[in-house]
Chains A and B, each alone.
Chain A
């Protein structure tokens, strides 16, 4: 009798246990993720007045759409994202292919290549800024040479953007934007390389060797065997790069500060400068909503894609 009772109570305790175990996580996430998330929606519909917050319905969004800098900033973000994703994926893929074989010192190479990722984004911004400080930066010594960059040499951080080809769309980008793309790729490259390499290493060597025996050349092996097999990982890489590029603000902060002019003013930086520079929290919250929606769409898209891949296999 005693033991039956005991078992029953311990069973009940067991069935409640998982809820107790996830409770701390739920509480923390409610306080710092869910509540602020809803608060941001509320903020985007309000405007700060001396007396308090005033409900303005969708006025913040309308103002944003009518703001020239916002449209320009969307353009900068698109240019940045395309450049950043394409550059990082291409080089990451190339390095991963180089490392994907039995090789001495490959552990050492991976470790060295990985160091940029451990460095904070604002430090990376400073490090790259030091290279192109006008007149004194090491790379400025090259780019400001008039014989290499006619007519007057190029000062990366202060050169104005060239005339746009497509009306308001900021393309071709300013030198500072190109430099920002290169520096951001530099920091994301280690992670993407390791991710792709790990995925390549799950492909059995037998498949590759037998296809080599069947007469496939190296490029065919990559294109017909490696690439299709790592496609899901490529999707993950694409997705995480887009997210980090969209939300990362630290490098812009310490490297260009959005300048010269507004030529590196991406959306994440615009959110900061409208929110804390101009103290327009309502409008900044509207930008935050936009960024959050794009993030969610990306995540849903990636999940759909990986589910489709799983059901194919």
Chain B
């Protein structure tokens, strides 16, 4: 009596789940469709990019049949972005001379890393102070930070632009636009990070530090030996979030840096876009090359990422 009931229940369960999985796979395909198309375009030849009517895969034979063996893949897009030139002493005797990889991506790497490190440092310190101490002005500090979170980078950009022009004119020693852009990124991503850091410190029980104080720790040594290891995942998530945000930022990097040799990757991409109005495979290849590092970074660290996103959204 019990056996058939169980079986029917199991069948209903699989049928419904199958439908659900089908739906979810479909949603994933739709969401990834634009990206997949771009990847395919980046490997197309010029004559396949300029086809009318357009084709998804460049795999049709002259008589119009679809044949995987007839696919015409090409690295032309990437070659034109990277501009490899024969050179002795380099890896495989090739030097990649394209500006994107030689200048712009290293610049972006520098800006994103520097701002993420400094944001983590400042946010960690401030988050610890706010989480562990009741000091005069604490509430005012947190409310101001919340208010500042409401100022978007866009509306401050006019004034920041004027400041960058004035600073450049002042010809300070050791100063160049790199310092200013990193400072702007820190200031822009810091407010939310302070809230995230406070949340992570709040979640660590006070008892641990009190035990450390009894054992002779000062607040700073307790912070270093007890709290820092425990809050490392939280701080790492702030680092990653800031890194990806700074990597993807366009307008500030485009407007606040004067010298072409200091401009970030997103500017390089915009430059490519205006130069290659019809060479879509080149534009697509540049897009893939710039997006790939952060996508890979995300795939390896997604759990930490989700945690920071949720924490940040709920707090901010």
Q: Which A residues fall within an 8 A CB radius of B?
A: 10, 14-15, 17-19, 21-22, 24-26, 28-29, 31-37, 39-40, 43, 95, 98-99, 103-105, 109-116, 118-124, 126-128, 130-131, 133, 135-138, 140-141, 186, 189-191, 194-195, 198, 233, 236-237, 240, 243, 246-247, 249-250, 253-254, 268, 271-272, 275-276, 281, 284-285, 288-289, 291-292, 295-296, 298-299, 303
Whether B314 and A249, one on each chain, are in contact in the complex, defined by CB atoms closer than 8 angstroms, is no
Q: Chain A interface: which of B34-42, B83-91, B168-176?
A: B34-42
Of the residues B21, B151, B218, B306, contact of A33 by C-beta under 8 Å: B151
- Does B9 touch A at the CB level, under 8 Å? no
Whether A195 and B126, one on each chain, are in contact in the complex, defined by CB atoms closer than 8 angstroms, is no
- Cα A127 to Cα B34 in complex, Å, equals 6
Given contacts A25-B123, A29-B145, A268-B154, 18 further A-B pairs with CB under 8 A are A17-B219, A17-B220, A18-B130, A21-B129, A25-B125, A36-B160, A40-B159, A95-B27, A114-B306, A119-B291, A119-B295, A120-B247, A120-B248, A120-B266, A123-B269, A136-B54, A194-B306, A298-B150
Residues from chain B with Cβ under 8 Å of A292 in the complex: 150-152, 155
Chain B residue, CB-CB nearest to A105 = B21
Whether B190 and A29, one on each chain, are in contact in the complex, defined by CB atoms closer than 8 angstroms, is yes
Whether B162 and A39, one on each chain, are in contact in the complex, defined by CB atoms closer than 8 angstroms, is yes
Of the residues B52, B153, B183, B284, contact of A130 by C-beta under 8 Å: B284
- Cα A176 to Cα B49 in complex, Å, equals 22
Q: Which B residues fall within an 8 A CB radius of A?
A: 17, 20-21, 23-24, 27-28, 31-32, 34-35, 37-38, 41, 49-54, 56, 121-123, 125-126, 128-130, 132-133, 135, 138, 141, 144-163, 183-184, 186-188, 190-191, 194, 218-220, 244, 247-251, 255, 266, 269-270, 273, 280, 283-284, 287, 290-291, 294-295, 298-299, 302, 306, 309-310, 313-314, 316
Whether B270 and A43, one on each chain, are in contact in the complex, defined by CB atoms closer than 8 angstroms, is no
Whether A275 and B158, one on each chain, are in contact in the complex, defined by CB atoms closer than 8 angstroms, is yes
Task: Say how far A141's CB is from chain B's closest CB, in angstroms.
Answer: 4
9 smallest A-B Cβ distances: which pairs? A32-B187, A120-B248, A39-B159, A36-B159, A288-B155, A21-B129, A18-B129, A247-B152, A18-B133
**Dominant secondary structure at the B interface:** helix
- The answer to whether residues A114 and B159 also contact, given A130-B38, A130-B284 and a CB cut-off of 8 A, is no
Whether B122 and A113, one on each chain, are in contact in the complex, defined by CB atoms closer than 8 angstroms, is no
Chain A residue, CB-CB nearest to B135 = A18
Residues from chain B with Cβ under 8 Å of A15 in the complex: 135
Task: Say how far B14's CB is from chain A's closest CB, in angstroms.
Answer: 11
Residues from chain A with Cβ under 8 Å of B248 in the complex: 118-121, 123
- Cα A15 to Cα B134 in complex, Å, equals 9
Whether A115 and B298, one on each chain, are in contact in the complex, defined by CB atoms closer than 8 angstroms, is yes
Whether B147 and A299, one on each chain, are in contact in the complex, defined by CB atoms closer than 8 angstroms, is yes
Whether A276 and B298, one on each chain, are in contact in the complex, defined by CB atoms closer than 8 angstroms, is no
Chain B residue, CB-CB nearest to A244 = B152
Whether A291 and B187, one on each chain, are in contact in the complex, defined by CB atoms closer than 8 angstroms, is no
- The answer to whether residues A189 and B250 also contact, given A99-B24, A111-B302, A126-B287 and a CB cut-off of 8 A, is no
Whether A40 and B158, one on each chain, are in contact in the complex, defined by CB atoms closer than 8 angstroms, is yes
Q: Which of A37, A119, A268, A288 has the largest count of B CB atoms less than 10 A from its CB?
A: A119
Residues from chain B with Cβ under 8 Å of A28 in the complex: 122, 183, 186-187, 190
- Cα A196 to Cα B217 in complex, Å, equals 42
Task: Say how far A31's CB is from chain B's closest CB, in angstroms.
Answer: 7
Residues from chain A with Cβ under 8 Å of B51 in the complex: 136
Residues from chain B with Cβ under 8 Å of A110 in the complex: 306
Residues from chain B with Cβ under 8 Å of A276 in the complex: 255
For this complex, 27 residue pairs linking A to B, each with C-beta atoms less than 8 Å apart, are A14-B218, A14-B219, A18-B132, A24-B125, A29-B145, A29-B187, A29-B191, A32-B183, A34-B148, A110-B306, A111-B302, A118-B244, A119-B248, A119-B294, A121-B250, A126-B273, A127-B35, A133-B280, A140-B54, A198-B306, A243-B150, A254-B270, A271-B154, A285-B158, A291-B154, A299-B147, A299-B149
Chain A residue, CB-CB nearest to B149 = A299
Of the residues A112, A123, A136, A253, contact of B287 by C-beta under 8 Å: A123
- Cα A10 to Cα B51 in complex, Å, equals 76
Residues from chain B with Cβ under 8 Å of A109 in the complex: 24, 27-28
Residues from chain B with Cβ under 8 Å of A105 in the complex: 21, 24
- The answer to whether residues A24 and B34 also contact, given A36-B160, A118-B295 and a CB cut-off of 8 A, is no
Task: Say how far B307's CB is from chain A's closest CB, in angstroms.
Answer: 9
Whether B146 and A138, one on each chain, are in contact in the complex, defined by CB atoms closer than 8 angstroms, is no
Residues from chain A with Cβ under 8 Å of B294 in the complex: 118-120
- Cα A277 to Cα B283 in complex, Å, equals 24
Chain A residue, CB-CB nearest to B316 = A240
Task: Say how far A285's CB is from chain B's closest CB, in angstroms.
Answer: 5
Chain A residue, CB-CB nearest to B290 = A123
Whether B125 and A131, one on each chain, are in contact in the complex, defined by CB atoms closer than 8 angstroms, is no
Whether A135 and B52, one on each chain, are in contact in the complex, defined by CB atoms closer than 8 angstroms, is yes
Whether A40 and B156, one on each chain, are in contact in the complex, defined by CB atoms closer than 8 angstroms, is yes
- The answer to whether residues A141 and B54 also contact, given A15-B135, A18-B129, A189-B31 and a CB cut-off of 8 A, is yes
